[in-house]
A and B are shown apart, each in its own frame.
Chain A
Amino acid sequence: MNNDVPVSSRRQLRHAAVAVLGAVSLLGLAACGSADPTPAATSSPAAFKPVAQEKGSEITVWADATRVPGVQAYQKTHPDVKLKIVTYSGDANGANDLQTKVQLFDRTGSGWPDVAFSANVNDGTWASQGKTPYAAPVNQDVIPQSTLKGFADGALNPCTFNGNTYCVRNDLAQNVLWYNKKLMDDFGYSVPTTWEEYQALGEKVVKEHPGYLVGTAGDAWSAEVYFWASQCPASTATGARKVKVDLRDSKCTRMAKLLDSLIAKGSVSKDTVFSAGFVKNEASKVLMLPGPSWFGQVLFNSTFKIPKGQIAAASPLKFEGDTKNYTGNVGGGLWFVSSHSKNLKAASDLVTWMATSDAYQGTAGTYPAYKKAAVTWLANQKKTGYFAEDVSPVFMESAELIWPGWSATQYSQEAIYSSTVIPALNSGKTLTDTLDTWQTAITDKAKSLGYTVN
């Protein structure tokens, strides 16, 4: 009796399993469609049709912890506006929460935040795509043209797709040459103006003051600091979802060789500036450091704790053969207005205030993308007295020097550099050795997201 039951229940189980398997394999055989994912519909320049508007309705704002106090300040000065503030990661450090959630909202058909901040400068690439792109084209009667014209030249490039502007820029992260003026004066060095002089100084410092550094190649954004400035075609958009990747170009190899020689000599570190080890042991030995404008306060002041009056910024370097110096850009936040918003007026007003007002941007931690706010911001920086010299001329100059041949893509160049190139560097390979692997990694990733690579 006892044996009967397991056998019969096992038989039932087997029957059920066979039935389920049969059903699934029937479904599997009944193929009639193509397995290709939805061809990524490129955003058409067709007129933007807002959803039915509800005047005075509540709007939801997603922002990161750094930006939330700004939104709260807006609420204080605009008490009539109904705001629901949600703090989220802000897509910083490679997170992609906004995209993740928007993908889910697209499936359920509701829930999109009316306004979203993103620290990932690439987020415009997906937010402007799809059947109904998440981002509203703000140039189509959402934010006035006069406001959009007030941004620094090229600042809205990562927001511009097919002639429409899908976001506004919160801040610029133009790269400059940071240096420790006190150390440079003590050693009797003058600040280089070309990459050749930079390399010579990097070699000299190894002999005269070993242990001091002129740069780091182990940051996720190293590609955007060195290779972008070298005008390396690693990420050049040639059309809608078409990108050119050519790391064997001489503009890439020249930078790879320069860094390889300094890494081998020891004046360029393979570590990242934010690693605990670097902050502890190397921070006081940074003589020069090409890097974004936010390095000044965020890295040198808050993280490295370099005392007041030592750090200064110089113009981006140029190669001797080039006619002009170019620089790159590391991040820079974006503000989106949702195309699904029922209160576009309130949403666009908030975004405009956050991105352009002196009240918020003038005292923000990062360099404002809006030109008028940037002037106020620079004046405030001067007042803090942290820098050894006024950084205003350099910041304003380099904001206009960002090489336009490096485009925002749906994939992150930073993620590819840090998962492909940095481990290779740490295993003893040189950058020049790694260019082919790096090229393959970018190409594969781009293709997997539906890009045409040439």
Chain B
Amino acid sequence: MTTHPATERSGGRGGRSARNPVGRAGYVFVSGYVLLLLAFGVLPTGYAVWLALSNSRNQLVGMGNFTRTFADYRFGPAFLHIGLYLVVWLASLMILVVLLALMLHGRMRRTSTSLRFLFYLPGALAGVASVLLFLILLDPAASPVGWLLKSFGWNTLAQVNAPGHLPVLFTIIAFWTGAGGWIVVMYGALNSIPDEILEAARIDGANTLQIALRIQIPMITKWIAYMLILAFAAGTQLFVEPQLVSLASWGMIPDSWSPNQLSYQYAFQAGDFNGAAALSVDLLVLGLACAALVVFRTGLFDRDKG
């Protein structure tokens, strides 16, 4: 958007800080983040890649750890579970978040502030605490919405937690704890659309639906893409929900339901950190591939169009 840094860089690196003190301040602002990123992002990733390619005697083993974990009887089911979960979770996140944000923005201007606060509220709780809340909600005998669960014919926690229900259950938990923040972000994105454009559309005779589909959604595509990348990465790493629901139901959910849990089992039950690292690198590659796909298809980083 701004041409300033661009001209700076093409003008050569040498005299930059002397000519532009603002640039130096930029480094200071970024330095804290960069340090943390190196310490807790880049270094552990590098270590994981190294572990995935070596064995416990520090010898390189090539793809050995990957083929070994791939052949594990839990590998297929774990990725199948997470795949199903992602389909349900990403679809409901995209549709509901955009829909709610549009409604907040267009239809409910008067109540919008309090509703936005309400949507955001569950997200303000610490992640684990809100999952714990769900442990009570899901037990028909203790839940305030027990009548709803019973109307589905589920009278015990065991029936609610049936293996086929899990992707939907985890989606509900994740939506409740995480979607509020995204609704606020989307609302902000909708606010960035100039009023003139919406007005022009209205004068041209576009109705609310047409404005939403033809103008608002196309103009916030990048935000939706951004949400998709982060939600995909967070979704593939699902760990807390199955782990806690499993503990609360006395182990009714397998201890390696999601790939991240399987990785945890490798590291801490079998003491096999190399296998665990191979699984986490699998997840890294998946996340990067999805991000690359979305970035290049939606032009998320194209500056001229933004």
* Interface residues of A, Cβ cutoff 8 Å to B: 1-6, 24, 27-38, 93-96, 99-100, 103, 106-107, 126, 130, 218-220, 270-272, 274-281, 410-412, 414-415, 418-420, 422-423, 425-427, 444, 448-450
Contacts and interface: CB of A to CB of B under 8 A. Distances in A.
Contacts of A410: 269
Contacts of A94: 246-247, 250-251, 255
A107 B272 CA distance: 11
A418 B245 CA distance: 13
Nearest 6 CB-CB pairings of A with B: A35-B64, A33-B59, A31-B62, A277-B141, A418-B251, A276-B142
A419 B255 CA distance: 8
B162 A426 contact: yes
The winner among B3, B59, B65, B158 for most chain A CB atoms within 10 A is B158
A128 to B, nearest CB: 13
Interface of B: 3, 5-7, 9-10, 49-50, 53-57, 59-65, 67-68, 72-74, 139-142, 155-159, 161-163, 246-247, 249-255, 267-275, 301-304
B142 A35 contact: no
Contacts of B10: 1, 4-5
A231 B267 CA distance: 33
A276 B139 contact: yes
A218 B270 contact: no
Interface of B is mostly: loop
A1 B3 contact: yes
Given A99-B269, A277-B157, A419-B255, A2 B139 contact: no
Nearest to B158: A426
Contacts of A106: 271
A261 B161 CA distance: 25
Contacts, number: 161
The winner among B9, B252, B303 for most chain A CB atoms within 10 A is B252
Contacts of A107: 273
A270 B158 contact: yes
14 contacts: A4-B10, A5-B6, A6-B303, A24-B49, A28-B62, A28-B63, A31-B62, A32-B60, A37-B271, A106-B271, A126-B271, A272-B250, A276-B157, A278-B141
Contacts of A427: 162
Contacts of B270: 37, 448-450
A131 to B, nearest CB: 10
A34 B55 contact: yes
A280 to B, nearest CB: 5
B271 A423 contact: no
Given A410-B269, A418-B250, A450-B270, A35 B61 contact: yes
Contacts of A449: 269-270
A389 B50 CA distance: 64
The winner among B64, B140, B250, B267 for most chain A CB atoms within 10 A is B250
A271 B247 contact: no
B6 A1 contact: yes
Contacts of A28: 53, 62-63
A35 B57 CA distance: 10
Nearest to A425: B158
A415 B56 contact: no
Given A277-B157, A418-B250, A423-B162, A35 B68 contact: yes
B274 to A, nearest CB: 7
Contacts of B142: 276-277
Nearest to A444: B73
Given A37-B55, A37-B56, A423-B252, A275 B157 contact: yes
Contacts of B158: 218, 270-272, 275, 422-423, 425-426
